[in-house]
Structure 1
């Protein structure tokens, strides 16, 4: 085996141009695979982060007459104890209302949260552009779009009318920007107690919101919660059920990426096999002499298998470097108007390692045909025809 490896190395060194050509072919295939794969994964991650990154991935609501969840603390505790995938959990008390300012009324959705818990899901603190978070009862945050439309300032007291006619006076402590105009115009955020008191919810909430370690397990976790919670009034929903078109698009991207990568690797495999087959013909005289000197058919086959292995390793290393360079360059030239990358750079070490291993395996497989041809060479016929 050692002799076969040494001969394989010498063959590659004796045909440097051909060796470089094969290695470059493998490198280009690997780099295309890594570039396209990283691009698709980065695009998918960006889409998921944009659409559901700052939103609940599983939501529990009630379909009873009041649309309220009682004993929510017990439900939250059971979920925390039994669902390892759940990383963020927050309750909310929501309700539609009207606010009055300078004889004008504006329709809003008042959302009462435990701010610290809700911040892990909705990034409230990061979205705060001015003022402070509501800490005391009767304090609220409003969106920047509603602020501009209604001419509201920090410290203003505004009258809030609940949907069943009760009124309350609330004080604006700050403004938020969630990056979505409809939310900035309609949401008004307060603490849980304020919303419960304004809407007379007592110690009840309208929803329980969750985020997961792996967002694509939302349906599985939702089914698990649904099986454990026996209340007939509790409704468990997840983002995958609500975003079927998005999921279809993501699956389409994944399939397209895999198909491109498969065809690239097939072309690389055929290229290596054809060039190594030519090498068998070119080196047939040397192989015949080696066989006449006593080298076994198995060792002559190993020569070309080692060649395929060495070429695969060299091409994989070059391909990984080139693929990462292409991905990095793309994020520097393909930019949005605000200077951010159109598709963020996403490096998945597992995917990159897998691509490199596939390239090496493909190179070895491609070497099987010339290796088999080499083992069948007859030294007498080779020397006679030389």
Structure 2
């Protein structure tokens, strides 16, 4: 390896670049996925309990006879979950449940002078609900206060209505009487639609505006293990009889995209590993051809085939593991530069800087294994050389 240092250098550079690409791509992908997953899990409940859908039932013309008529799906009215206090107590006592929040949510109209906007009001108990949806983390103006006459609005709604913290809005929902609410904070959820439509009021205020005296439109739940939400939701539905939608079901497209990204990453990593293996193998094949005489002399002096085989296997393994170590350093450096330079539009980081030690260790072991396997064919070729023929050239 020292004598053929040019060949050794080239193959080390090839292995290092391949490992650097793998480490960088995998780390960026996992960081972006983790950041997106954090945003998803802090902007919605893990499980939402809803009242069952209203369905149309066929009329009976007479005893034992059902009319054969086309049934049209009825409009879904805003209504409360039946016996929601009992259901909430049952769910809160289940293992794996972290928080259960009662919510009264529905459509409303906000008026400020001549400006109007259709909004969605969410009436919630701050202590429980903000433990599920991290609204306090997204407040950009004002302070978190949600008394009976307070309201939190998004940045785009504030721009549309021309209001700021301390101004008052007239909000009308199912009751005919508008209610004047004071804006105590403005938030930015990172989505124009959410910032334009979503507002938060106190739980009792939401019940009053939506004409839901003593009722709730949903129970929102956070669990300890977010990825077990679908199994817990099915268990809740079986126990209580209400409809339970988990974030896994409602974000099916997200999981499809994650699986597609993981598949692409595996394919790219496999292609890089294959190219590295061919590079190592080609260098070792050339080394066997160039050192045919030396191999023949070693065999004539009594070196066994296994010893000759081991020489080239060790060479492949050393090339793989040294190249992997250099590539890991290159990948980590590139990841650090990319993390510092590439930012979101609001200046926050695009993804958290995470360098998994298991990824580095696994990549080095894999690269060493690829080097050994790549050296297998040249090593067997060297071990099979006839000493007399090799010496004669």
Q: TM-score, normalised by structure 2?
A: 0.80
| Structure 1 counterpart of 2:332 | 324
Q: Indicate the larger mover: 94-103 or 22-31.
A: 94-103
| Structure 1 counterpart of 2:47 | 58
Q: Indicate the larger mover: 201-210 or 64-73.
A: 64-73
Pick closer, same or farther for the CA change 1:214–1:302 going to 2, 3 Å: farther
Give runs of aligned pairs for residues 36-75 of structure 1, distance below 5 A.
Answer: 36-49=25-38, 53-63=42-52, 67-70=79-82, 72=84, 75=87
**Is 2:19–2:324's contact at 8 Å kept on the other side of the alignment?**
yes
Offset of residue 309 of structure 1: 1.5
d(CA) in 2 for partners of 1:285, 1:306: 20
d(CA) in 1 for partners of 2:341, 2:140: 30
Deviations 1:19-70 (A, max 9, x none): 2222222111111222222333344344445556523343222226654235
**Which of 154, 158, 176 in structure 2 is aligned with 1:165?**
176
Offset of residue 167 of structure 1: 4.5
| Greater percentage in helix | 1
Offset of residue 250 of structure 1: 3.1
**Which of 138, 141, 152 in structure 2 is aligned with 1:141?**
152
Q: Determine if the alignment matches structure 1 residue 365 to structure 2 residue 368.
A: no
d(CA) in 1 for partners of 2:89, 2:333: 47
Give runs of aligned pairs for residues 166-181 of structure 1, distance below 5 A.
Answer: 166-181=177-192
Offset of residue 239 of structure 1: 3.5
**Which of 284, 307, 318 in structure 2 is aligned with 1:299?**
307
Q: Determine if the alignment matches structure 1 residue 206 to structure 2 residue 223.
A: no
Pick closer, same or farther for the CA change 1:336–1:194 going to 2, 3 Å: closer
| Structure 2 counterpart of 1:110 | 121
User: What's the C-alpha RMSD, in Å, of the aligned pairs?
Assistant: 3.2
**Is 1:118–1:124's contact at 8 Å kept on the other side of the alignment?**
no
Q: Indicate the larger mover: 64-73 or 138-147.
A: 64-73
Q: TM-score, normalised by structure 1?
A: 0.81
Offset of residue 300 of structure 1: 1.9
**Is 1:331–1:341's contact at 8 Å kept on the other side of the alignment?**
yes
Pick closer, same or farther for the CA change 1:188–1:245 going to 2, 3 Å: closer
How many residue pairs match? The answer is 370
**Is 1:57–1:209's contact at 8 Å kept on the other side of the alignment?**
yes
**Is 1:107–1:186's contact at 8 Å kept on the other side of the alignment?**
yes
* Structure 2 portions without partners, runs of 5+: 55-77
Q: Determine if the alignment matches structure 1 residue 235 to structure 2 residue 246.
A: no
d(CA) in 2 for partners of 1:263, 1:222: 35
SS at match of 2:2: helix
**Is 1:27–1:319's contact at 8 Å kept on the other side of the alignment?**
yes
d(CA) in 2 for partners of 1:213, 1:247: 19
